Amino acid sequence: MLDMKRIRENPDAIREGIKARGQPADLVDELVAFDRDRRTLLTEVERLKNERNTVSLEIGARKKQGEDTSAAQAAMRQLGSRIAALDARVRDLDEQLQAKIIVIPNMPHSSAPVGPGESANVTVRSWGAPREFEFEPKGHTELGEALGILDLARASKMSGAGFPLFVGLGARLERALINFMLDLHVREHDYIEVWPPVLCHSPSMTGTGQLPKLATDMYRLADEDLWLIPTAEVPVTNYFRDEIIEQPLPIYLTAYSVCFRKEAGAAGRETRGIIRVHQFDKVEMVKFVEPGTSCDELESLTRNAEDVLQRLGLVYRVRMLGAGDLSFAAAKCYDLELWAPGKKAWLEVSSCSNFEDFQARRAGIRFRDKKGKVRFVHTLNGSGVALPRLVVAILENGQQADGSVTLPPAIVPYMGGIDRIAPAGGLIR
RNA sequence: GGAAGGGUGGCGGAGCGGUCUAUCGCGCCGGUCUUGAAAACCGGAGUCCCGCAAGGGACCGGGGGUUCGAAUCCCUCCCCUUCCGCCA
């Protein structure tokens, strides 16, 4: 959420920012008009309340003297109904204002390139060289099913299309990767581990910016105000919702969680395999930092995510998103994309974003600066990293001519010493 | 799911119709003293909104009501704690 004062004082800059995202900016003018009306009414009703407070106090004093105050009481009763009417109008304007301001996206950071959609995205660096294959590399679905570690047919029997089912060493690989990533962030990157709820209510979803815009992309329980989280960003960022953080910043939190997404707008895209699924595992990193430091913190957050990929020896590139491709709440974002040689495509496994004070304002997350003044923190988060696509890259990169898959050395200790998955036929341990 | 008790400033905790301008304690900030710190003493400070300012208004879990006037009385919803039931 943007500061209303900022919109009031720089409407042109706000309009520019929204247009850079490729969205219509007419809401800004409505907002400015509503805000002006609200302040006029507010000034008026506050004047009347001051009068009521003063006179009511006098009435009390005069009654003690035994005076007749019925005339004054009648006048105040009338004033009271005027106040009630004005209060109702102010509240109405407040609600409309809130409904409008909550759907205005964050302003793109000045360093984010401008251009429609994905057109302005740029590769800022890349790591590793794609492996040369002496045979035609297979896709992860074929590999996984042949190895008996991925069973999409049975998954759909349980839950319908779009759900992963890992079996045997596939399930173990999933668990090993989660542990590997959490250990890395906790032991070497100074994050504190959190194991959060995967159902969150509307205030939390609004706090991080999933609501109201993404309501149709999320699963919701039928009888309660609870949603299945699309990312651990939601519960972990809301850790400090409506709080003034009393401990020193920055604070780094990391969490594994399962994530749920309807992918409603993605019908027909990536339907085969586990590249786009309704449920997936992810390790998330979240930062709460002082405003002046958030740019640098985004760089180190991104390096933390890259570290996962480098230790696994996977080829990747870092893309800086243009304004047109930024998510609703982000001011700046780097995507990490893994090379998948079977699919011959780059797969997004992490989005590292700086939200500046946009989420903090919605969620009421504040701190005291050096002068003791209460201010909004800046929040950041990034995947560190998302699992299904990571598994895709590991399978496709590690595949051998005989159909087996060699695992990255870094994960072998987490696999109990197993460094290779070979086809065995049937259910195997 | 049932019963009881609670939600007050960063924390603890008073207040139960009008000097509430929300007592007090802890913690916090500044100062005195000290080589430095602690202690002691003195002083300061809740959050949000409107206003150039002076100042004004709102906020005692949320919403509604009663009243000239509500932290205080009434209704309602939410949350927390304890006990019972069920349960991984």
Q: What is the pLDDT of residues A161-201, one digit of tens each?
A: 999 999 999 999 999 999 999 999 999 999 999 999 899 98
Q: How far is the CA of A358 from the C1' of B30 (A)?
A: 34
Q: How far is the CA of A59 from the C1' of B23 (A)?
A: 26
The pairing of strands A192-194 and A279-289 is: unpaired
Element (H, E) at A375: strand A374-376
Distance CA A37, CA A34 (A): 5
Q: How far is the CA of A59 from the C1' of B7 (A)?
A: 33
Residues contacting residue A197 through CB under 8 Å, at least 6 positions apart: A229, A235
Q: Considering only CA atoms, which residue is closest to the C1' of nucleotide B58?
A: A46
Question: Contact, A287 vs A252, CB < 8 A?
Answer: yes
- Position A409 scores a pLDDT of 98
Could you give the domains of chain A?
4-101 (1.10.287.40), 117-421 (3.30.930.10)
The pairing of strands A227-228 and A345-356 is: unpaired
- Position A344 scores a pLDDT of 94
Shortest CA to C1' contact from A54: nucleotide: B69
- Position A300 scores a pLDDT of 97
Distance CA A393, CA A338 (A): 7
Q: Considering only CA atoms, which residue is closest to the C1' of nucleotide B30?
A: A371
Section A391-418 average pLDDT: 97
Q: In strand B, which positions have an atom below 7 A from any protein CB?
A: 10, 18, 28-29, 46-51, 56-58, 64-65, 67-69
**In this complex, which protein residues place their C-beta within 7 A of any atom belonging to strand B?**
A 4-5, 39, 42-43, 46-47, 49-50, 52-57, 59-60, 63, 73, 76-77, 80, 84, 91, 244, 246, 366, 372-374
Q: How far is the CA of A217 from the C1' of B8 (A)?
A: 40
Shortest CA to C1' contact from A243: nucleotide: B10
- Position A131 scores a pLDDT of 94
Distance CA A296, CA A388 (A): 29
Kindly report, residue by residue over A211-262, the tens digit of the pLDDT.
888 888 999 888 788 899 999 999 999 988 888 887 888 999 999 999 999 9
Question: Contact, A228 vs A218, CB < 8 A?
Answer: yes
Q: Considering only CA atoms, which residue is closest to the C1' of nucleotide B10?
A: A246
pLDDT-derived band at A265, boundaries 50, 70, 90? low
pLDDT of residue A411 exceeding 80: yes
Shortest CA to C1' contact from A72: nucleotide: B68
Shortest CA to C1' contact from A46: nucleotide: B57
Q: Which residues are registered as beta bridge partners of A337?
A: A317, A348
Shortest CA to C1' contact from A83: nucleotide: B57
Section A52-69 average pLDDT: 84
Query: Which tokens in the block code for residue A409?
Result: 């050395």
Q: How far is the CA of A193 from the C1' of B85 (A)?
A: 35
Question: Contact, A240 vs A365, CB < 8 A?
Answer: yes
Burial A110-136 (b: 16+ CB within 10 A, else e): eebbebeeeebbeeeeeeeeeeeeeee
Distance CA A420, CA A258 (A): 26
Shortest CA to C1' contact from A36: nucleotide: B50
Query: Which tokens in the block code for residue A256?
Result: 């594994």
Q: How far is the CA of A43 from the C1' of B70 (A)?
A: 23
Q: Is A345 helix (H, G, I), strand (E, B) or coil?
A: strand
Report which of A270, A276, A256 is spatially closest to residue A163, judged by C-alpha positions: A276
Question: Contact, A353 vs A382, CB < 8 A?
Answer: yes
pLDDT of residue A267 exceeding 60: no
Is the model more confident about A422 or about A47? A422
Distance CA A251, CA A268 (A): 40
